[in-house]
Amino acid sequence: MNQLEFSRRAFLHGTAAMGTAAAAGLVPGLSLADGHALKVWASAIAKVGAKDWTAMEQQSGLSLAVTAKSARADEAIQKMVVGDGNKLFDALTDNGGGMEDALASQKAIVPLDTAQIPNFKNILPVYAEGGAAADTIRHDGEVYAVPFISNADSLAYDHKAVGFEPDSWGVLFDSQFKGRVALQNDFGPTLTVTAIYLKESGQVEIDDPSDMSEAEVKAVCQFLIDHKKKGQFRTFWDGFQNGVGILASGEVLMASCWEPVALVANAKTGDKADIRYGTMKEGHQTWNNVMMLSKGGRRRGMDEAFYKLANVYLSPWFGALTLKTFGFAPQMQGVDAYMAANPDTFDAGTRDVLARRLANKNKRYAIKGNAWQNVFPTNIRAYQDWWARLQAA
């Protein structure tokens, strides 16, 4: 599928209401700022150091006018390509899985001069040309994006309650845990990790778990529907706080989820539970998030400001804090040295915890069955249709 077709599909599957809002510029949370502020459309996980963006402003030396961005890729593409996003925003984060290609192919974002980002020299080797993640920041060979977080999503579980360390997605479908497990209420990660499990366990022939055929999607969803009808799943969690709540309360013993959900849930339980984040032998959905410079931002002469912000995202300061705060992987080298040089923020105990966290993350990255996140698979209509049947079952 070429990128024009990719983007057109995104437009067709956007809701009419969202399209109307995009055309009218009705994006919630837009803050007013003077003409010198870098106007950024970003997710909440794109900042560290403070609850607001003050620490990011201090590190970059910029004034930032930030609009909260939803997790919907179709909304972002419509807003930036057919809506007025380029009039409103100088920079934006993605939703993972190919948005840089969709936006670059429609000229909604512009290529970057990495020489203007001093910390780019410290970017992880996987982003070098030919590297495993090289294409996630490039379009037609040119760099269009700067990564700031990545992860391999896995399974959270209460070790104290289950009494062992699950190493397979199969525990989610084990009848001994009937009614005590949860899946994410999102067809992207849930169908992908289920497909990984079914493929690697030899139950269903699947070529690419991140871009399935209609028949493969049907087989995966029928598998989930069968288990849902048997009462296997307590719930399909939706939203960060919901994910935290069902684990922290003990409502479920395990759930497929983002790593920060497990970290926050464990912090809330005290000694009542021991919520851990596992490594699944079949594989995981891997992903990253990136920051991009809009066409409008370049027209307004905001390149220099963007590069300053991008430099922060590739700094060991950001990498160390995102690992500590959210459990996401740093995108640059030099994090260990930074933490050792800042014992007030990263004492020996904290460094040990983060070293184990990063080691576990690297184990997940190494699993051969991993599949990269794909927010717009080729047969997206089949995904949507079968997901609706699963929800209705």
Q: How far is CA 334 from CA 134, 320, 331, 361, in A?
A: 20, 9, 10, 17
- Are 114 and 142 contacting, i.e. CB atoms less than 8 angstroms apart? no
Contact between residue 253 and residue 162 where contact means Cβ atoms under 8 Å apart: yes
Nearest-angstrom CA–CA distance, 40 and 52: 13
Query: How would you label 312-336 residue by residue, b for 16+ Cβ within 10 Å and e otherwise?
Result: bbbbbbbbbbbbbebbbbbbbbbbb
Q: What is the reported pLDDT for 212?
A: 98
Three-state DSSP state, 92: strand
Mean pLDDT of each 10-residue bin along the chain, 393 residues long:
41 38 37 69 95 97 94 85 96 89 95 98 96 94 97 98 97 98 95 98 97 98 98 95 97 97 95 96 97 98 98 98 96 97 97 95 96 91 97 97
Among residues 65, 48, 36, 95, the alpha carbon closest in space to that of 288 is found at 95
Domains identified in the chain and CATH numbers: 3-143+287-314 (3.40.190.10), 153-284+369-392 (3.40.190.10)
Which residues, at least 6 apart from 314, have a Cβ–Cβ distance to it below 8 Å? 117, 119, 120, 122, 123, 146, 148, 331, 332
Tokens of 265: 């849930």
- Exposure letters 274-311 (e unless 16+ CB within 10 A, then b): ebbbbbbbbbbbbbbbbbbbbbbbbebebbebbbbbbb
Per-residue pLDDT at 6: 42
Helix (H, G, I), strand (E, B) or coil at 197: helix
User: What region, left, alpha or beta, does residue 231 occupy, with left being phi > 0 and alpha being psi -120 to 50 degrees?
Assistant: left
3-state secondary structure of 207: coil
200: tokens are 């690697």
Position 10 scores a pLDDT of 41
pTM: 0.87
